[in-house]
C-alpha cells in the first residue's frame, strides 16, 4: 500500500481501566483485580492505529495542562504522530474514560474535560493539516459544532471524510451531507436512522442513512463482522476473523483506522472493509485500546496466516 496522509480530529483521554469479576450494583463496593492507566480516547486511538499502519498522521485535539495531558502527548509523539496541532488548555483537566472490564465485556464513562475545548477556531487555525490529508477522521467526543465545521471544511477541500458516530447522539442532516463514510455500530445505526433496534432490517436502516446524503454506510457488528451496502443497495457482510479475544475496547477505533488507511491508499469499499476487519481482529487480542493497535507488518503477517 502507498503511504496515505490522515488527519484525525478528536478526543484524547486517559483510560482508567478496572478489571473486576462483575460490575458493582448502585451503592455497592466490590474488590477489583487490577487497575491500568492506558492512553485512549477515540480520536487518539484512531491516530495511533493509523500511524502504526504506516500512514502520515496528524491530530487536532486538546488536553489539559496536567500529568495525564503530558503523558498522552508524549505517547502520541512516540508513535510519530504530528502533535503540533494538539493544544494544552488551562481551563480543564485532560479527558478521562472510566472503563470497567467485567463478564467479558466493558462499560465506559467518559468525562470530556479538555476535549470540550477543541473548537471551530482550532479547525481554522490548523486548516493546513486538513488540506494536507487524503482522509479526515472524526468521532463524537469533541463538541458537535466542531465536528460539523471540520467535516464541512474537509469536504470543501475535497477530502475523504470518515465519521465514526460514537458515542451515539442525534445528528443534523447537514452533517450527513458532508460525510463520505459513516461507520456506526449495530446500536448506532438504528438510532441515527430513527428506528428502534430490530424495528426494521439492518439494510433498511443503512439505506435510510444513505438517503440522508452519506456516500457509504459501514456498520460494525462486533464479533459478527461488518456490513456495507453493495451497488444495488443489498447488505454484504464481511465476517469477523476468529481470534482469542482479550479486550474489545477500541475495536471500533482500530476498524476505522484500518478503513481510513485502506481508502487513503486507493482501495475500494469491499477490500477496505476486509483490511479494517483484520486490523480490528488483531486489536481485540491485546489489552487496552491504544496499546493493542497492530502495525502494518503484524496485519500483513496475520493476512498470510489467516487469509
* Residues in contact with ligand RIB by the rule CB under 6 A: 11, 13, 15, 40-42, 45, 97, 108, 110, 141, 249-250, 252-253, 289
CB 71 → ligand RIB: shortest distance, Å?
Answer: 14
Tell me whether residue 97 or residue 181 sits nearer to ligand RIB (CB atom).
97
Q: Decide which of ligand ATP, ligand RIB, none touches 221; Cβ closer than 5 to 8 Å per partner kind.
A: ligand ATP
Q: Which residues contact 163 (CB under 8 A, 6 or more apart)?
A: 138, 139, 147, 151, 175, 179, 181, 182, 183
Which three cell numbers, joined as nine digits, stand for 89? 488548555
Active-site pick, 82, 134, 247, 253: 253
Q: Per-residue x/- mask for ligand ATP, residues 255 to 284, rule CB under 6 A?
A: x---------------------x--xx--x
Q: Decide which of ligand RIB, ligand ATP, none touches 13; Cβ closer than 5 to 8 Å per partner kind.
A: ligand RIB
Q: Decide which of ligand ATP, ligand RIB, none touches 23; Cβ closer than 5 to 8 Å per partner kind.
A: none
Tell me whether residue 93 or residue 235 sits nearer to ligand ATP (CB atom).
235
DSSP 10-51: ---EEEEEEE-SSPPPTT-----SEEEEEEE-HHHHHHHHHH
Name the one range near ligand ATP by CB under 6 A: 88-96, 144-152, 171-179, 218-226: 218-226
- Rg of the Cα trace of the chain? 18
Which three cell numbers, joined as nine digits, stand for 125? 487555525
What's the residue count for the chain?
A: 307
Round to the nearest angstrom and report the end-to-end CA distance of the chain.
Answer: 17
Q: Which residues contact 268 (CB under 8 A, 6 or more apart)?
A: none
Query: What whole-number distance in Å separates Cα of residue 184 and Cα of residue 206?
Result: 9
**Where does residue 173 fall: left (phi above 0), alpha (psi -120 to 50 degrees), or beta otherwise?**
alpha
Rounded to 5 degrees, what are φ and ψ at 174?
Answer: -65, -25
CB 48 → ligand RIB: shortest distance, Å?
Answer: 10
Tell me whether residue 40 or residue 264 sits nearer to ligand RIB (CB atom).
40
Binding residue (CB under 6 A) for ligand ATP from 8, 100, 166, 260: 166
Binding residue (CB under 6 A) for ligand ATP from 11, 57, 185, 191: 185
Helix (H) or strand (E) holding 204: helix 202-210
Only one residue has cell 495525564, namely 68
Residue number, nearest CB to ligand ATP: 252
Q: Per-residue x/- mask for ligand ATP, residues 221 to 240, rule CB under 6 A?
A: xxx-xx-------------x
Query: What whole-number distance in Å separates Cα of residue 12 and Cα of residue 196?
Result: 31
User: Is 247 in the active site?
Assistant: no
CB 205 → ligand RIB: shortest distance, Å?
Answer: 22
Count of residues interacting with ligand ATP (CB under 6 A): 23
CB 108 → ligand RIB: shortest distance, Å?
Answer: 5
CB 292 → ligand ATP: shortest distance, Å?
Answer: 11
Query: What whole-number distance in Å separates Cα of residue 164 and Cα of residue 253?
Result: 8
Give the residues lining the site for ligand ATP (CB under 6 A): 166, 185, 220-223, 225-226, 240-241, 243, 245, 248-253, 255, 277, 280-281, 284
Which residues are catalytically annotated? 253
Amino acid at each position: 500500500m502507498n503511504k496515505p496522509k490522515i488527519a484525525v480530529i478528536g478526543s484524547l483521554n486517559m483510560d482508567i481501566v478496572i478489571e473486576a469479576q462483575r460490575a458493582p450494583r448502585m451503592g455497592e463496593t466490590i474488590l477489583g483485580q487490577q487497575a491500568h492507566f492506558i492512553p485512549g480516547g477515540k480520536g487518539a486511538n484512531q491516530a495511533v492505529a493509523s500511524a502504526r499502519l504506516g500512514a502520515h498522521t496528524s491530530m487536532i485535539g486538546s488536553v489539559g495542562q496536567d500529568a495525564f495531558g503530558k503523558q498522552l502527548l508524549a505517547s502520541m509523539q512516540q508513535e510519530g504522530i504530528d502533535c503540533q496541532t494538539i493544544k494544552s488548555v488551562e481551563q480543564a483537566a485532560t479527558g478521562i474514560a472510566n472503563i470497567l472490564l467485567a463478564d467479558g465485556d466493558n462499560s465506559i464513562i467518559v468525562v470530556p474535560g479538555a476535549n470540550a475545548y477543541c473548537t471551530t477556531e482550532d479547525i481554522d487555525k490548523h486548516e493546513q493539516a486538513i488540506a494536507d490529508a487524503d482522509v479526515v477522521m472524526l468521532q463524537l467526543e469533541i463538541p458537535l459544532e466542531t465536528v460539523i465545521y471540520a467535516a464541512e471544511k474537509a469536504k470543501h477541500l475535497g477530502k475523504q471524510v470518515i465519521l465514526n458516530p460514537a458515542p451515539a447522539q442525534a445528528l443534523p442532516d447537514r452533517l450527513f451531507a458532508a460525510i463520505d463514510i459513516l461507520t456506526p455500530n449495530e446500536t448506532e445505526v438504528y438510532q441515527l436512522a430513527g428506528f428502534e433496534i430490530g424495528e426494521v432490517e439492518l439494510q433498511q436502516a443503512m439505506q435510510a442513512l444513505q438517503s440522508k446524503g452519506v456516500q457509504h454506510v459501514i456498520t460494525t457488528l462486533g464479533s459478527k463482522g461488518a456490513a456495507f451496502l453493495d451497488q444495488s443497495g443489498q447488505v454484504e457482510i464481511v465476517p469477523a476473523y476468529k481470534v482469542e479475544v482479550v479486550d474489545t475496547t477500541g475495536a471500533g477505533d482500530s476498524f476505522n483506522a484500518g478503513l481510513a488507511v485502506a481508502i487513503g491508499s486507493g482501495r475500494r469499499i469491499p477490500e477496505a472493509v476486509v483490511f479494517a476487519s483484520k486490523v480490528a481482529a488483531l486489536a481485540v487480542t491485546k489489552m487496552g485500546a491504544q496499546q493493542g493497535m497492530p502495525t502494518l507488518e503484524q496485519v500483513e503477517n496475520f493476512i498470510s496466516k489467516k487469509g
